[in-house]
Each structure stands twice: as structure tokens, then as C-alpha cells.
Structure 1
């Protein structure tokens, strides 16, 4: 599985405007709907909020992977956003979060969902990669960096 299979260039935000966790979830949902019009914004926001109630998806090092499952979906979809200012996302390390990878999977897709989460988590463990994303000026540049890094063996 490659990230290119579920992250389209249209679903990348180079400079998020959100300042709070709920705003981040909304902005990522709006972007997902823009890239995939068959999705419903309110349902996406609710699914992501419900998952956050179980515990923050802020994994530390400035990265969060809000995620959830949605009935009626046929395949995994994602949105990615960069917050230059950083947001208090209640990350496990207590630091501001800058990189947000929202992942929404079909309701009965545990294996695919978990593989995608693991792949994203592994990719964003690399400090040089995280820095390159923060330095990238456009959504197209960010998308290209993610796809390029994900293609490495």
C-alpha cells in the first residue's frame, strides 16, 4: 500500500488557518469533501471528533493522525495539512502540532486502516522529512515530498 493510493494532491493544505483542535478537524474535513464530493462534511467532522474523545491522535514530534471509519465509503481517503503556527492538539509530548494527516476508512476495513496508520506513522518519524514538509512552500510540493518519501524502500 502506498500513500499515493489514498492522498490526492487536491487534499493537501499548505498553510492551515485553524488555531484549535475542532477547527483543525473541520478544515481537514472540508478539504476531504472538496477532493471527494461524495463525502459529507458533518459526518466526517463527527467521526474524527468521536475518535479524539478516546484520546488524542497527536503522536508527538509535531504530528497528528486524526482518523476514523465511515459507513458508505468504498475506499480509504486522506487529507494532509500543515499548520505553520502550530496547534495545541493535546499531543502525547505536550508540544504544538504542525503536521496533520487525516485518514478516513470504510467501516469494515480494519486491516487497510491499520496498515495506512502504520505507514504514515513510520514515514513521519523521520525528522529530516518532517522539516522538509514544513519548508515546502506549496501544496503540490508537499504532496510530491510525501509521495517521494513513501516510495523509498
Structure 2
């Protein structure tokens, strides 16, 4: 999986205020909707919230991969976020979350959805990848770091 196919500099946010899980989901839904003319913030938020109610997407070690299918979505959209401080995300290890990759997928893309989630989980289980993301001091540096690691893991 090449992150560059689903992630853009506009959807990479460094030092985003954390506050709470619900506030994060609201803010990130608005951010994603701003960069996509076919998606509304309400549709994204409602789908992300419904998915979180099924079980937390906090995978441990300060990482969460909130994901959902949205009917109006026409292509897979990724958004990478580094929070300025960790938030409670009901993660499986009860740790605060400070790195998130939000994935919005077209409703009919079941197989691709699972393939991308699997690729993201592999990336985020690399300690050096996560530390490099945490060390980034700008959105551009965060984006470049993610893309570089993604390309390296493909070779």
C-alpha cells in the first residue's frame, strides 16, 4: 500500500489540539469535508461515530485508526494527525492516543478497505515509524515522513 495514493499534504495535520475523542471526530470530519466536495462533515462524523460505537479503533501504543464507509465517498481518503497532547480514545491498552490515521472509504469498497487497514496496521506497528511521526514539527514534515516510510516498506 502506497500512502501517497490516499494521503495528501492538505490532509496531514501536525500538532492538532486533542481535547476529547468526540471533539477530535468533529474537527477531523470538518477538515476532511473541506478538502472533498462530495462529502459533508455530518456524514463523515456520523459514520465515524457509529464505527466507534461498535468498538474503539484505538489499536494501542498511542495510535488509533478511525475508519468508516461513507455512501457519498468516491475514493479512499486518508488523513494523518499528530495531536499536541494525547486523548482518551478507549484504546485496547488504555493509553492516551496522539497519532491517528483516519480512513474514509466508499461504501462498496469492502476488500480494499480491509487491505488498506491491514497496511496501515503494519506501518503503525513499526516503532521507528511512529517515533518519526511523533518527532515531526510541521504538517509538511509529518507528511514527508509518512510517505518516505510507506515507500521504504514497499521495497
Q: Which TM-score band (shorter chain)?
A: over 0.9
Residue 51 of structure 1 is matched in structure 2 by 51
Q: Give the TM-score of the pair, scaled to structure 2.
A: 0.95
Contact 1:85 1:98 in 2 (8 A): yes
Map of 1:29-44 to 2, 5 A cutoff?
29-44=29-44
Determine the C-alpha separation between the residues in 1 that align with 2:41 and 2:34.
9
Determine the C-alpha separation between the residues in 2 that align with 1:132 and 1:117.
20
| CA RMSD after TM alignment | 1.0
Q: CA deviation at 1:72?
A: 2.2
Determine the C-alpha separation between the residues in 2 that align with 1:9 and 1:136.
14
- State the aligned residue count: 153
Map of 1:72-151 to 2, 5 A cutoff?
72-151=72-151
Runs of 4+ residues deviating >3 angstroms: none
Q: Give the TM-score of the pair, scaled to structure 1.
A: 0.96
List runs of 5+ in structure 2 lacking aligned partners.
Answer: none
Q: CA deviation at 1:36?
A: 1.6
Contact 2:18 2:85 in 1 (8 A): no
Determine the C-alpha separation between the residues in 2 that align with 1:22 and 1:13.
17
Residue 8 of structure 1 is matched in structure 2 by 8
